[in-house]
Amino acid sequence: MPREGRGTGGAGLQAALRSLPSVDAILIWLESEPAIRGMPRRRVTEAVRETLAQERRRLLGAGERPSAPADALGIGRRVVAQLTRAGAFSLGPVINATGVVLHTNLGRALLSPLAQERLLRVAAAYCNLEMDIATKERGSRYSHVAGLLRRLTGAEASLVVNNNASAVLLVLESLARGKDVIVSRGELIEIGGEFRIPDIMRRSGAVLREVGTTNRTHLKDYVSAIGPETGLILKVHTSNYRVVGFTAAVSSRELVELGRARGIPVMEDLGSGCLVDLRPYGFPHEPTVPEVVASGVDLVSFSGDKLLGGPQAGIVVGRADLIERLAQNPVNRALRIDKFTIAALEATLYAYEAGTALETIPTLRMLTEPLAGIRRRARGLLRRIPAEVQRALGARVVEAHSQVGGGALPTLDLPTAALALGTASRPAQSLDEGLRAARPPVLGRLLDDRLLLDCRTVLPGDIPALAHAVSSL
Ligand SMILES: *Cc1c(COP(=O)(O)O)cnc(C)c1O
């Protein structure tokens, strides 16, 4: 502890600390402040205490000759500024100008207008979630999407849980608890955060039997690993990385043949389950859910909010008897989806069935938008920025590459158009900070010494707000 200075400095500090206004005095001053009206009282009191503590620390840190302490007015103004900057809510919209379409940290997939509408409807009214209204009997929440999933994937049955990680956990727990699960070493993946196949396997009580090597696994590796303890053969789609060069992997079809011959179910974790073939839009081939189902795999799992473009969910489709075992597992109750997920998922799947998915589901629309359209949006954005601001920030439209994100198609770069900002006197780093402080915050991409605002992921309706944020820099 620093010792208090002797004489006038110490006494001055004590006097300064004593003359700080009380919490109550500041709260009384704040009562007349319109910006604070309606804010939860506890939040205001906490902000007052924090600001007072900051001021006390400042005085103590100033040493022997503290400057004048802030009065109730000064502290009150700082509290108002802090509370209005923070806003009433923590979670809120941002403008995604990163070009990453499925940005996990920015909420992954956006919902189609139809999905938004259906979600709002069940939010505001009671609904037939688990009741067959005609018979008044108890129904199943999963029934609302079962028909759609059957027709769209070709699988007999389906179950939907909270996310794909829980889908994998549920399958392992239901079919392979205390048994061996055979997985290729080339597929022991980590999907960001805490999801690693070997970890989830341990948690489920299944025993991992790794076969093959990182780059090459052959059918004979699976064959020799099969024993009386084998409960499941698991294939994991390496959605977020690629093993290239001298590689070998066993196809789903071959694994299905092996599994059938030995009476062992085969599951494929497809990760980013796509329902449509995106090759006509210049994408490399990704196995679609219907293709994998057609290969005969017993169960396929995939995310609702990756390439599918719906709400967060984990969808399992496949053999009816196995799905029944998943549904009966008490663990399923802990992974149960709510009515909002079902409403949004039903509307999303409906668009696929109606043939409107590519135009109405934002993820698909953004991924397949031709460069010309993105370029038009970037030029439109530039035009809305006053010429002197353009000059000051070095603003110009450039061509760049955006990414799919969400661990899907990792090696793919999509040609895009972006507004580039940054000069020697207005460095990109500080412009990035400035845009993140805007309302709504704008997230761009720093590349070399420029800040790119990639227009692939900027919604047309966000262009005016984005132009305003840039012009206010
Ligand atoms: C993304 C992914 C998961 C996890 O899915 P979430 O829906 O994020 O839980 C699991 N497996 C694979 C192969 C993935 O790509």
> What's the 239 CA to ligand 1 centre distance in angstroms?
9
Residue 92 Cα, ligand 1 centroid: separation in angstroms?
Answer: 24
Smallest Cα–Cα separation from 97: which of 443, 468, 471, 448?
A: 443
In this structure, the residue with its CA closest to atom 6 of ligand 1 is 164
403 and 302 assigned to the same domain: no
Asked if residues 309 and 368 have their Cβ atoms less than 8 Å apart, the reply is no
Residue type, position 277, single letter: D
Q: Which among 339, 358, 377 is the end of a domain? A: 358
| The residue to which tokens 């030029």 are assigned | 379
Domain count, the chain: 3
Question: Which amino acid residue places its CA nearest to atom 12 of ligand 1?
Answer: 271
Give the Å distances, CA to CA, from 341 to 109, 304, 363: 13, 9, 17
Structure tokens at 189: 């993946």
Q: Are residues 341 and 402 in the same domain?
A: no
Closest CA to 463 of 343, 380, 389: 380
Query: Has this prediction a pTM greater than 0.85?
Result: yes
**Residues in Cβ contact with 151 at an 8 Å cutoff, skipping those fewer than 6 apart:** 353
Q: How far, in Å, from the CA of 156 to the mean position of ligand 1?
A: 23
Ligand 1 atom 11: residue of nearest CA: 271
What's the Rg (C-alpha) of the chain? 28
> Do 351 and 377 belong to one domain?
no
Contact 296, 256 (CB under 8 A): yes
Give the number of the atom of ligand 1 that is nearest the alpha carbon of residue 406.
1
User: If residue 46 lies in a helix (H) or strand (E), which one and from where to where?
Assistant: helix 41-61
pLDDT of residue 66: 64
Distance 191 CA to ligand 1 centre (A): 6
Residue with the smallest CA separation from ligand 1 atom 10 is 271
Cis peptide upstream of residue 427 (ω within 30 degrees of 0):
no
Helix or strand holding residue 239 (H, E): none
Shared domain check, 414 and 294: no
Q: Residue 195 C-alpha to ligand 1 middle, in angstroms?
A: 8
Ligand 1 is surrounded, with C-beta below 6 A, by 163-165, 191, 195, 236-237, 239-240, 269, 271-272, 303, 314, 407
Distance between CA atoms of residues 2 and 157, nearest Å: 71
pLDDT tens digit at each of 473 positions of the chain: 444 444 445 778 888 889 999 999 999 999 888 888 888 999 999 999 999 999 999 988 876 666 788 888 999 999 999 998 888 899 999 999 999 999 999 999 999 999 999 999 999 999 999 999 999 999 999 999 999 999 999 999 999 999 999 999 999 999 999 999 999 998 887 766 677 888 888 889 999 999 998 888 999 999 999 999 999 999 998 866 667 777 788 899 999 999 999 999 999 999 988 999 999 998 988 899 999 999 999 999 999 999 999 999 999 999 999 999 999 999 999 999 999 999 999 999 999 999 999 999 999 999 999 999 999 999 999 999 999 999 999 999 999 998 888 777 777 889 999 999 999 999 999 999 999 999 999 999 999 999 999 999 999 999 999 999 999 99
- Collapsing DSSP states into helix, strand and coil, what is residue 346? helix
CATH of the domain at 420: 3.90.1150.180
Q: Are residues 20 and 81 in the same domain?
A: yes
Query: Does 7 share its domain with 82?
Result: yes
Length of the chain: 473
Kindly state whether residues 250 and 392 are assigned to the same domain: no
Structure tokens at 364: 């698909």
Q: Which helix or strand (DSSP H or E) is residue 208 part of?
A: strand 207-211
Question: Are 172 and 69 found together in one domain?
Answer: no
| Helix locations, 316-441, DSSP H | 320-328, 330-334, 339-354, 357-360, 362-368, 371-383, 387-393, 428-436
Q: How far is the CA of 85 from the centre of ligand 1 (A)?
A: 35
| Atom number, ligand 1, closest to the C-alpha of residue 237 | 13
Looking at the structure, tell me whether residues 284 and 188 fall in a common domain: yes
- The residue segments making up the domain with residue 380 are 95-104+366-471
- For a mutational test of ligand 1's pocket, the pick from 103, 236, 303, 337, i.e. the residue with the most ligand atoms closer than 8 A to its C-beta, is 303
- Retrieve residue 99's tokens: 């070009």
Q: Quick one: 375 exposed, middle or buried, by C-beta within 10 A (0-12, 13-18, 19+)?
A: middle
Same domain, 133 and 219: yes
Which tokens belong to 312?
């967060």
pLDDT at residue 192, as a whole number = 64
- Nearest atom in ligand 1 to the alpha carbon of residue 305 is 7
The residue out of 323, 358, 393 marking a domain boundary is 358
Ligand 1 nearest-atom number relative to CA 240: 15
DSSP class per residue in 276-340: S--GGGTPPP---HHHHHHTT-SEEEEESSSTT-SSS-EEEEE-HHHHHHHHHSHHHHHTB--HH
Residue 273 and residue 326 in one domain: yes
Q: Say what the pLDDT of residue 2 is.
A: 45
- 143 and 248 fall within a common domain: yes
- If one residue of 195, 238, 299, 312 were mutated to test the ligand 1 pocket, choosing by the most ligand atoms within 8 A of its CB, it would be 195
List, in sequence order, the alpha helices (H) in 62-142. 72-86, 113-124
**Ligand 1 atom nearest 167 alpha carbon:** 9
Final residue before a domain boundary, out of 358, 388, 419: 358
Count CA within 13 A, CB hemisphere, residue 370: 4
- Please report, for the domain that includes residue 147, its CATH number: 3.40.640.10
Specify the DSSP class assigned to residue 192: S
> Which backbone phi and psi does 216 adopt, to 5 degrees?
-140, 130
Bridge partners of 30, per DSSP, are: none
